[in-house]
Amino acid sequence: LFVNKILWFKSMPVFHIRYSVVVGQIVEKMSDEDEAPVVKKARIFYGSLEEKEKQRLSREGISTAAKDAVKAGIEAGHINISSGESMEMEERVSERQAEVLAEFERRKRARQITVSTDDVEVKACLRALGEPITLFGEGPAERRERLRNILSVVGPDALKKSKKEDEKAKRTQDEYQQTWYHEGPSSLKEARIWLAKYSLPRAVERLDAARAQKEIPESTRTVKQQELHKTLRNVNNFCSQIGDDRPISHCQFSPNSELLVTASWSGLCKLWKVPDCTLIRTLRGHNTNVGAISFHPQATLTLEESDVNMASCAADGSVKLWSLDSDEPVADIEGHSMRVARVAWHPSGRFLGTTCYDNSWRLWDLEAQEEILHQEGHSKGVHDLHFHPDGSLAGTGGLDAFARVWDLRTGRCIMFLEGHHNEIYSINFSPNGFHVATGSGDNTCKVWDLRHRRCMYTIPAHENLVSSVKFQPNDGHFLLTGAYDNTAKVWTHPGWSPLKTLAGHEGKVMGLDLSPDGQLIATCSYDRTFKLWMAE
């Protein structure tokens, strides 16, 4: 019987061991009829339980056949074994809950945030936060809601911080643009006191002359004005002279109206007898383009020929002083490291002004033989300089398209001339004391009123840049402009209507001047000639 049972057991079919995972417990089923106990634990195992299965098998002493069967199942891929990694169920659930709760909290904060209904202010807030001020197809309501959602994430304080940073940056910029002062030498203070004492009596004389002019009947003044206009309409070319081998950059009459000096790009300056245009002397000293040459206010009147009668400047930064009896410079003024575009004498003759392309202009005291003022204020090179007839003010025009009026007695900029679109190449005060003309690269000439601190009239003067402007020296009853369209024009004052076009140059007009006696007009050009114009 015992042998039969053994044979019967061996003839039984081999059942496959099935493993089911029930909340972390492995249950062995020897048959389909057995019920698997359900035990709940807090872990879920992913993948293989090879190590735990080995421990269980070693404890229960499973036969070698069962081990072979498990091994065969693993190799066949029916049983997956992992390293026993696990994850807490409660942690995964808590993360999802935290995300949902955070979203609810954000929406709650968004409902409590107050956002302006002004669409302009909403855009400003978005810009301050660094967000796009509008999206494609977005309306004011959607934009407002987007701002509210952004603030609910970054916090309402972010907008306050951004505004504070903007205010701080603006405050810093204002401090940077603020006018600053530094202590000057004692010679500057003495010069300013001297300028005040010099200019005030001249201002009184000018005002007295203006009052006397006002006493003249209007009909008499009108007749004189009409006669002057008639004379100007009859101005024609009187003389044309080749002045150099290179373009002539500047020309000026002497105070007695008997001499004319020209400056050329060849580095030579020449002194001419007018009106017959006879060459008197060639001034040799510059090695490069000469920008300007100017007569001392008392040259040919009270000064000796051996005294300093002229000053010139060049593109290499050199400034030279000249006498009338020598073709070599009397002295050099050193200190400029860049191009000096213009030189101008103060009406007193004691001071000389120079403009430089280092964005500054300088005032030199020739009696003390020193530089007393190095004035900055332009953002680009300073091209032209002119002094007020009283000697109290100085006007500068720069390549930054702005002009400034400076009070020489205090050092302050009293008027900022803003309106030109391109560089300012010329500035000139009217003898009446309150009008200033500026010529620019925007082809216009603007007339400014110092009393009202504004532009009084814009003259669409030429078809190319205006290189030079000049009021009538004595009364300022007309204005002369020269430009790169090869012409010079005469304009009435007031009214600013064209009276005469002086055409004849084959190249651009680079400079012009009017004789103090009012009889001659001189123009110099890129075509290497200068021309004299006179009424018939």
Are 130 and 208 within one domain?
Answer: no
Rg of the chain over Cα atoms, rounded to whole angstroms, equals 47
DSSP 237: E
Q: What share of the chain is helix, strand, coil (3-state, %, to 5)?
A: 30, 35, 40
Strands 43-45 and 25-29: unpaired
Question: Does 88 reside within a domain?
Answer: no
**Same domain for 208 and 145:** no
Same domain? 422 vs 480: yes
* One domain, residues 320 and 408: yes
Same-domain check for residues 396 and 325: yes
Predicted pLDDT at 88: 56
β-pair partners for 294: 311
Q: What is the CATH classification number for the domain harbouring 386?
A: 2.130.10.10
Structure tokens at 310: 């002229």
Predicted local confidence at residue 462, as pLDDT: 92
* Domain shared by 298 and 392, yes or no: yes
Reading the block at residue 251, the tokens are 């020309």
Buried residues in 404-427 as b, exposed as e (16+ CB within 10 A): bbbbbbeeeeebebebbeebbbbb
* Same domain for 193 and 145: no
From first to last of its 536 residues, the chain has per-residue pLDDT tens of: 444 444 444 444 444 444 443 434 433 444 444 455 555 555 555 555 667 777 776 666 555 666 677 677 777 777 766 555 555 555 565 778 888 888 888 888 888 788 888 888 888 888 888 888 888 888 888 888 888 888 888 877 777 777 677 777 776 666 555 656 667 788 889 999 999 999 999 999 999 999 999 999 999 989 999 999 999 999 999 899 999 999 999 999 999 999 999 999 999 999 999 988 899 999 999 999 999 999 999 999 999 999 999 999 999 999 999 999 999 999 999 989 899 999 999 999 999 999 999 999 999 999 988 999 999 989 999 999 999 999 999 999 999 999 999 999 998 999 999 999 999 999 999 999 999 999 999 999 999 999 999 999 999 989 999 999 999 988 888 999 999 999 999 999 888 899 999 999 999 999 999 999 889 999 999 999 999 999 87
In a domain, 365, yes or no: yes
Q: Is 0.85 surpassed by the pTM of this model?
A: no
The closest alpha carbon to 142, from 163, 115, 103, belongs to 115
Q: How far is CA 112 from CA 105, 108, 118, 456, in A?
A: 11, 7, 18, 56
Residue 49 lies in a domain: no
Domain extent, residue 487, equals 186-535
Residues 132 and 255 occupy one common structural domain: no
pLDDT of residue 48: 58
**Do 143 and 190 share a structural domain?**
no
Q: What is the pLDDT of residue 47?
A: 54
- Asked if 204 contacts 198 with a C-beta cutoff of 8 angstroms, the reply is no
CA distance 18 to 23: 16
Q: What is residue 50's predicted lDDT score, i.e. its pLDDT? A: 67
Within-domain flag for 341: yes
- Give the end of a domain, one of 109, 134, 154: 154
CA angle 511, 379, 397 (to 5 degrees): 25
What is the tally of structural domains in the chain? Answer: 2
Q: Is residue 499 part of a domain?
A: yes
Q: Cα angle at 341 between 337 and 343, to 5 degrees? A: 100
